[in-house]
Chain A
């Protein structure tokens, strides 16, 4: 009976537009009340669900990413990469993908990345003949890989829910698949650019290489500091993020001088609200998870799914289909909190590596972030470019297919994800 009730109490309100956090809290509370487990479990679990040391890394990475984006790092990275690759048909598409990858190495979430790159790149690409609908689609897709490329807020949440997969191991495992996913976009992007002749007939002078390197080096150093600090064991993920915050404030106020006191207050206030949304979902999801686990609801569903599929490949395919579908409607962190309690017992029953499973899930959810109709990243870049979501579909479809190809590679060759963490000894 419990599984049916859970769906009635959770899925229906969620579909009707009740905020996810509220739907999870109420469904969890309803289960607790129905099973007579004692309603004090609701505030206790909500509090304990948020008050966890590893979760501190989430507001810190959100803040660090925002500081770097607002301080104008994106613009300087664009100039530097453009100076490196030159100007030829499709070159700006390459620049957009590379800059998105680098920013993904600083911030931990896709939409903010996509917004920063779009603001700089869409006007530049328009001047060189690329249609805005294409640029918006490409940047949304490239920015979405930020949740796969370390540091990643999504991996931190995954690690809190699946303690066997540590944050450093997940970060290391995400690096190669994340780069692969971003580079996979180049195939359709370069092909389309050549075919339509976008960016042909160079007229603008190339930015001077050394000066653009000197300006960009502050931004280029950020991923080195974050990932290097983690790798050396000097910092915990939370501390690495705080060091990135301090470094970003230093660069923004003293080196680039782009951040004024008013900007800093706005950045902290906005980062606080974005973090609050994520953390509130986590807190109320733990009420939901505690109720579901105590009553054995999730295990029951997982056992039913495992019993359905005799063949692991079929189960894997089904899970990928579910994740892609879920990714169309919600962001990665939310989907982890809803689906992991069911998916982890399945992965364990199948004997899958949980680090690889996390990377695979995250690529799926990255694809969902730029696949219409409910694509968070794409909505943002389309709004910045002033084009409709529909107009991007004819280009975005190729990028979805390309990244599905990268996903297939990671699924078929788990070593793409697992080689680096093993090499680093995690």
Chain B
């Protein structure tokens, strides 16, 4: 069951989720006992959720656990099925490579124009820079899984 090759993603995903829990729980407790609200920390929770989405998806895409319709593909002859698999892999790598490039441009623009975050007034690129970095992680993971798939398929 345990896939050692996705240990990093599992750890980072679990950590982000635990941090979101702690921030939200602290909010409830502090608000309940004092009048003080530090709801502005929502900004951290939301940024962590974006990180969670990308690290969790890296393992899910690579291991074929992302939502997809396999009902039709499984009923195709072998050659067509392999062609569909190649299409799915190419599409995934292509999309996340594009997100890496475009996301980097988005983060760079925010850095250049010194965009600040709405809640805490921190530089927005601190948050958005994770999108291209982790999109690259997904592209690399899917490429790696595709490499192993085709090595196995040839045999």
User: Which residues of A approach B to under 8 Å, CB–CB?
Assistant: 13-23, 25-26, 29, 39-40, 42-44, 46-47, 50-53, 55-56, 59-60, 63, 235, 238-239, 242-243, 245-246, 265, 268-269, 271-277, 279-281, 283-284, 329-331, 334, 373-374
Contact = CB atoms under 8 A, between A and B. Distances in A.
A235 B18 CA distance: 19
A320 B22 CA distance: 41
A298 to B, nearest CB: 21
Interface of B: 9-11, 13-14, 16-18, 20-21, 24-25, 27-28, 42, 45-47, 49-50, 52-57, 59-61, 65-73, 84-85, 87-88, 91-92, 94-95, 98-99, 102-103, 105-106, 109, 127-128, 131-132
A374 B65 CA distance: 15
B24 A46 contact: no
A324 B87 CA distance: 28
6 contacts: A18-B92, A40-B102, A56-B45, A272-B10, A273-B56, A276-B53
B14 A330 contact: no
A18 B28 contact: no
B57 A276 contact: yes
Contact of A20 (B56, B68, B98): B68
Contact of A59 (B47, B49, B84, B88): B49
Contact of A245 (B21, B56, B60): B21
Judged by DSSP, the binding face of B is: helix
Given A13-B87, A20-B66, 13 more contacts: A15-B72, A19-B92, A29-B95, A40-B109, A51-B46, A56-B24, A56-B45, A63-B17, A268-B14, A269-B14, A275-B56, A276-B60, A330-B67
B104 to A, nearest CB: 9
B131 A40 contact: no
A40 B102 CA distance: 6
Contact of A269 (B13, B65, B87): B13
Nearest to B22: A242
Contacts of B73: 16-17
Contact of A22 (B18, B24, B91): B91
B54 A276 contact: yes
A268 to B, nearest CB: 4
B57 A18 contact: no
B21 A277 contact: no
Contacts of A268: 13-14, 17-18
Contacts of B105: 40, 43
B131 A43 contact: yes
Nearest to B80: A16
B91 A26 contact: yes
A78 B127 CA distance: 46
Nearest to B14: A268
B68 A272 contact: no
Contacts of A52: 46
A265 B11 CA distance: 8
A276 B52 contact: yes
A39 B59 contact: no
A276 B50 CA distance: 9
A261 to B, nearest CB: 12
Contacts of B9: 273
Contact of A43 (B20, B47, B102): B102
B98 to A, nearest CB: 7
A44 B60 contact: no
Given A42-B99, A46-B131, A275-B52, A53 B42 contact: yes
A19 B99 contact: no
